[in-house]
Structure 1
Amino acid sequence: MAMKKDKDIELGKQGEQIAVIYLESKGMKIIERNWRCRYGEIDIIAEEGPNLVVVEVKTRSSRSHGTALESVSPAKLDRLRVLAAKWLATQSRTFDAVRVDVIALDKFAGDFALRHVRGAI
């Protein structure tokens, strides 16, 4: 069991690194990674022009629990909105808008397939 968990953690880290590289290639500036508070965690906090982008990254290597995108529930997206507000409360600067994106990475046969859903909520 522990070995599977370690493998899942490694896959998640790999997925987050791929997401960071992808977002930077699209011109986003990464502000923070794996920000945590008592309410949860934001995988990636980025800046796109005057806008704040909160990014949930999901990575899957099998379809046994659905695709990566299918695993992001409406409740998770709601929680990300709350977390974005908590993070903003710790900042002295402001943003024109706040957006929640999802980056879903599926690795079922070799390479990762990346899907970026802008404004998931």
Structure 2
Amino acid sequence: MRAKDAVGRYGENVAAHHLVQAGWDVVDRNWRGASGEVDIVALEGDELVVVEVKTRRGTGFGYPAEAVTAAKLARLRRLAAQWLDAHDLHPRGVRIDVIAVVLPRQGSAQVEHLRGVVR
């Protein structure tokens, strides 16, 4: 596994743990649809949340959430619809969240959860 892939996988694990600690139900991870991949699909109560996780080792190249473009959000909306088509689940609502994870050289991962991201 490449170092970049390992960092991304670690960030997804941190994000999933963050959601579980908040009382959410993580129902799917790394789900592949025709439009790409969803990092995490979770339920917050009866609302389905498609979560994009962005992880960086620092902020020298910008903050992780800055990498989520309008095109990426459009792709995530398509993937949310594809995920719902493939599963027998009827949530009250659907939204897209971004979890930004920064891994400093020392200390714990820094997690920022951006809810209901739209552009």
Same fold per TM (> 0.5)?
A: yes
AA at the equivalent of 1:114: V
Structure 1: 5+ residue runs without aligned partners? none
Q: Is 1:118–2:115 an aligned residue pair?
A: yes
Structure 1 residue 109: Cα displacement: 3.6
2:88 is equivalent to residue 100 of structure 1: no
How many pairs align? 117
RMSD (CA atoms): 1.3
Q: Say whether residues 1:10 and 2:14 are aligned partners.
A: no
Q: Indicate the residue corresponding to 1:22 in structure 2.
A: 18
Matches within 5 A, 1:1-121: 6-110=2-106, 111-121=108-118
Give the gaps of 5 or more residues in structure 2: none
Q: TM-score, normalised by structure 2?
A: 0.92
Q: Deviations over 1:73-110 (max 9, x none)?
A: 11111110110001101122200000100000112442
